[in-house]
Amino acid sequence: MGQEKKFENRVKDFLKQSGCWFIKYWGGGEFTKSGVPDILVCCHGYFIGLEVKSKTGKPSGLQIKNIRDIHQCGGFGILLYPQDFHRFKSLIGNLQAGDDVGAMGDYHYFQRVWHPWLTKYRMEGVIA
């Protein structure tokens, strides 16, 4: 089993233990949309789109566009690497506790994770 899949399973186990609803989304099939985040989550009334990557994984322009679109619609668009898993756990814990300030602090961290990719793909003309 690959590193990304192992990490994804850790994330799903954590979400299950945290009482969050989620679905693993698989794009690329005939009737599915490409670029949708790997895991779609509803946790304590919040929508989260999680794009899970291995330590060295690189998101596509379409994945970053969808993360940005989720963000612009008021959800949490997250590009999640293993080294940031503790921060994701903090985000979920803050959502559970009703700590909006703490949750937003955690989410701002994740915006800093995906924003350089957004800038890169904009400069390359991949994302408008």
Q: Is 99 helix (H, G, I), strand (E, B) or coil?
A: coil
- Determine the pLDDT at residue 27: 72
Residue 8 belongs to a domain: yes
- Determine the pLDDT at residue 32: 72
Residue 45 belongs to a domain: yes
pLDDT < 50 stretches in the chain: none
Here the CATH number for the domain that contains residue 14 is 3.40.1350.10
Residue 25 belongs to a domain: yes
- Determine the pLDDT at residue 63: 96
Q: 48-81: per-residue pLDDT in tens?
A: 999 999 999 999 999 999 999 999 999 999 999 9
| Range of the structural domain that residue 37 is part of | 3-123
- Residue type at 11 in one-letter notation: V
Cβ neighbors of 60 (< 8 A, separation 6 or more) are 35
- Determine the pLDDT at residue 38: 95
Residue 128 belongs to a domain: no
Residue 89 belongs to a domain: yes
Structural domain tally of the chain? 1
- Determine the pLDDT at residue 18: 97
Cβ neighbors of 75 (< 8 A, separation 6 or more) are 46, 47, 48, 49
Residue 59 belongs to a domain: yes
Residue 88 belongs to a domain: yes
Answer whether 0.85 is exceeded by the pTM: yes
- Determine the pLDDT at residue 14: 98
- Determine the pLDDT at residue 103: 97
